[in-house]
A and B are shown apart, each in its own frame.
Chain A
Amino acid sequence: SQKIEQNSEALNIQEGKTATLTCNYTNYSPAYLQWYRQDPGRGPVFLLLIRENEKEKRKERLKVTFDTTLKQSLFHITASQPADSATYLCALDLQLSGNTGKLIFGQGTTLQVKP
């Protein structure tokens, strides 16, 4: 069956450390993979998109990797800060006709960065 899984446990780390979040999937072949941040009571906010032919993407303190052989994406936040505390959602971007994408979301990982 098709599945997308993120770390189900909350991730607690100390300020300044690197947070690493995992997204694994089975029986999908996404053309893209996206990461979103969601704060309590608010809609998700887009962070990064990586294409199937890209191994790594960076944006400021964020880094995403995408391994289509392992069917896994890793999301890193370096030099983490308490303001990074949120739920992070992984989404498989399945290409539809007309270059439109349909997102399949993981359940999210809650990150807590302690000062």
Chain B
Amino acid sequence: DVKVTQSSRYLVKRTGEKVFLECVQDMDHENMFWYRQDPGLGLRLIYFSYDVKMKEKGDIPEGYSVSREKKERFSLILESASTNQTSMYLCASSTPGREREQYFGPGTRLTVT
């Protein structure tokens, strides 16, 4: 079974803090994704990566950066957290080709106060 794990289920940070969200997958997937999910707005893509050290902006990259130094790990960085970044953050991975479904982690609920 594919397993995608995220470093924390719940996180509380202060405005202006630097925040790291870690995601690890164990299925040797090439693609990894970061989403945020908000009521009424659904799941929105922040960044994705289709290879080590490669990254692409998604639909809402402002205020975020990412790092992919190893194939299994994809980190989301909030350089200076703000209250409007309070959200559920979901990581996913997939493999390119016909079997292209995404496997999601359990999510990190981040609160910025």
Contacts and interface: CB of A to CB of B under 8 A. Distances in A.
Interface residues of B, number: 26
A103 B45 contact: yes
Interface in A23-68: 32, 34, 41-46, 49
Given A42-B107, A43-B90, A49-B100, A100 B50 contact: yes
Interface string B24-65: 000000110100000011111100101000000010000000
Given A42-B107, A44-B43, A105-B42, A98 B96 contact: yes
Contact of A102 (B45, B90, B105): B45
Interface residues of A, number: 23
A45 B48 CA distance: 19
B75 interface: no
Interface of B: 4, 30-31, 33, 40-45, 48, 50, 58, 90, 92, 94, 96-97, 100-107
Interface of A: 32, 34, 41-46, 49, 89, 93, 96, 98-108
Given A43-B90, A103-B45, 4 more contacts: A44-B90, A93-B100, A98-B96, A100-B100
